[in-house]
Chain A
């Protein structure tokens, strides 16, 4: 169990640019989640996948946000035409769907996005 890995750890970009973050979940986990966390707040759910299927995306913040998990393994979160308000920590988590109805989500260390 190598844990959830997120890359890059930090991303600094200019307003209006597109950014993409990658998440590699724990290998046997088939569920993957994306969250956003701003200063002084808890993580805010964005979307989740079971295998390659994106089962919930209504909480994505705008149509500038999109996520993929093409082969049911790693996932990417893309933000197009970034805005100042997108500056935040983006967290990825994974869990297994077996062993009971609620399996805790295991988080990566996040990607911190700073918009200049």
Chain B
């Protein structure tokens, strides 16, 4: 059951422009969302998160937006840099003590110099 979906397998943007990565979920019980970045031959690295009680969280060049009514979240990277080129995974957790984190299939971001 694919409860977290990333419908764009890849995205290419120019250096300095905005990258927008999207994620949809189906389970309204999810109450915490995370984004991970993964380089080849490495494990995923935590990037940014947001609680379901918020609609925006910002950390430097990275901002995550949550639209609960649409069950949609997005990650904005501004400005994009070549080092941001990686696979980005959206993930969601349900319940305070539930550590069963569900991941999307990932979006491969390529930032061109």
Contact = CB atoms under 8 A, between A and B. Distances in A.
Interface string B38-58: 000111111001010000000
A91 interface: yes
A48 B98 CA distance: 10
Nearest to B95: A101
Determine the main DSSP class of A at the interface with B.
loop
A59 B105 CA distance: 18
Contacts of A56: 99-100
Contacts, number: 57
A48 to B, nearest CB: 5
A41 interface: yes
A106 B43 CA distance: 9
A41 B93 contact: no
A33 interface: yes
A85 interface: no
Contact of A42 (B41, B42, B46, B91): B91
Given A33-B99, A42-B91, A48-B99, A104 B104 contact: no
Nearest to A42: B103
Interface in A28-53: 31, 33, 40-45, 48
Interface of A: 4, 31, 33, 40-45, 48, 55-56, 59, 91, 93, 101-102, 104-110
18 contacts: A40-B9, A40-B105, A41-B105, A42-B103, A42-B104, A42-B105, A43-B89, A43-B101, A45-B101, A91-B43, A101-B96, A102-B93, A105-B46, A107-B36, A107-B44, A107-B45, A109-B41, A109-B43
Given A91-B43, A93-B43, A101-B96, 20 more contacts: A4-B43, A33-B99, A33-B101, A40-B9, A40-B106, A41-B105, A42-B6, A43-B89, A45-B99, A45-B102, A48-B99, A56-B100, A101-B32, A102-B51, A102-B93, A104-B49, A105-B101, A107-B36, A109-B41, A109-B42
